Amino acid sequence: MLSYLKFFSKWLVLAALVGLVGGLIGSAFHLAIDYVTEFRGGHDWIIYLLPIGGLLIVALYHSAAKIQHLVGALDTNRVLESVRGENKIPFVMAPLIFLSTILTHLLGGSAGREGAALQLGGSIGYRLGKLFRLDEDDLHIIVMSGMSAVFAALFGTPLTASFFSLEVISVGKMHYASLVPCMVASLTASQIALACGLHPVRLPLTAVPEIQLLTVLQVILLAVFCAMVSILFCIAIGKTEHILHKYLKNDYLRVFVGGTVILLLTLLLQTRDYNGAGMDVVARAIAGEAKIEAFLLKLIFTAITISCGFKGGEIVPAFFVGSTFGCVFGELIGLNPGFAAAIGFVAVFCGVVNCPVAATILAIEVFGGNALMLFALACGISFMLSGNFGLYHSQILLYSKLQPRKINQYAH
């Protein structure tokens, strides 16, 4: 009993410290993203600087890699690998992802912010772990705690943040030793964000259907198509990255061309809906309003933005794609479009990250506890039917989604 109490006391202190640091940095990042998003909204001309901003981002990463003698990609996959002991997280990742994500949002790249959250949090946790000379196993726990902390500070969803960190590393296996540290870190960070005046992501539903046979069948059908959309999302990003790296081998040329394409598409469509994260469009979809082509256009914008070298993340764009698709498809099959948008929001998220528990909890924290069974059903179906696809190539699918057996495969 004493050994358990010692472990608990140690992680109560360490996780609270991680939550404090992650909450402060995550809140500062949140405020910066909000500021540049508002600035971009009032200055349409700034998107013309997107290709130049891309060159600056690539220059920052190249300079850091050269000075620090770094090998390998500095991205979310590196954080996931560090939890399994396969890689180290250099401290320079934190300022790099902070600045580059702000630049991407300021200039109109189509990206989210969770990639920055995971990289910032992982870097903070790893650095604190080294500072306190933790052993390898404890180092993995504190990295996951850092991931949870900054995710919670950015989205105001502490329970989702905790379980996302537990699930995303190895699908089919949860690192339960990290449960309390992740929860303490995420709760601390979310309270810091609230104290800084930041509001959590909450999207109230205007209507929630009763659970009856027709509604269940409609949700099942929508979830099946959401799984297909999540596969399309992963394939689009993977194939776009492969094509761009094959034909535009120079990093500077690739990001400049990609930024120019995003600029031209924006001018052609005469809308700024697909620049930045697009949470305003998500809110409209939850209210029951979405364009038929919105999900596909956002997918294209995001695939180009992320694949050519801009930074941010793919999860918020997945929210956009899922909610707009769900809104349109739900109306076609007779399901309330706002509620269908909410189903699409969590189901596509679940399909691209392979985290059904975190996705179900996300539905509760963002939309409330009504119709929880329908949200859980949609997440389960999307998880099953999305197969071995995923946003993070370093994510391991430890167990099959169809049979109780080990497969130990990387997501693709």
| pLDDT for 230 | 98
Half-sphere exposure of 350 (CA within 13 A, CB side): 31
- Site of tokens 């027709």: 214
Looking at residue 49, what DSSP letter applies?
Answer: G
d(CA 154, CA 25) in angstroms, rounded, equals 10
Instruction: Report the SS3 class of residue 56.
Output: helix
Q: Which residues pair with 409 in a beta bridge?
A: 397
- Return the pLDDT at 172: 86
User: Residue written as tokens 């659970």?
Assistant: 211
pLDDT on residue 77: 86
CA 295/CA 282 separation, integer angstroms: 10
Same fold, 2-195 and 213-410: yes
- Beta-bridged to residue 406, according to DSSP, are 399
Topology classification of domain 213-410: Clc chloride channel (1.10.3080)
The C-alpha atoms of residue 281 and residue 320 are separated, in whole angstroms, by 7
Q: What are the DSSP calls for 277-324, one per residue? A: --HHHHHHHHTT---TTHHHHHHHHHHHHHHHT--S-SHHHHHHHHHH
91 SS3 class: coil
Alpha carbons 410 and 36: distance in angstroms, whole number: 36
DSSP 122-187: HHHHHHHHHHTT--HHHHHHHHHHHHHHHHHHHHS-HHHHHHHHHHHSEET---GGGHHHHHHHHH
- What ranges do the domains of the chain cover? 2-195, 213-410
- Mean pLDDT per segment of 10 residues, for the chain of length 412 residues? 91 97 96 96 95 96 85 83 81 92 96 88 93 92 96 96 94 89 97 95 92 96 98 96 95 97 97 94 96 97 96 94 98 96 98 97 94 97 96 91 88 86
Between the alpha carbon of residue 353 and those of residues 104, 229, 323, the distances in Å are: 22, 13, 16
Q: Which CATH class is domain 2-195?
A: mainly alpha
Residue 64 burial (10 A CB sphere; 0-12, 13-18, 19+): middle
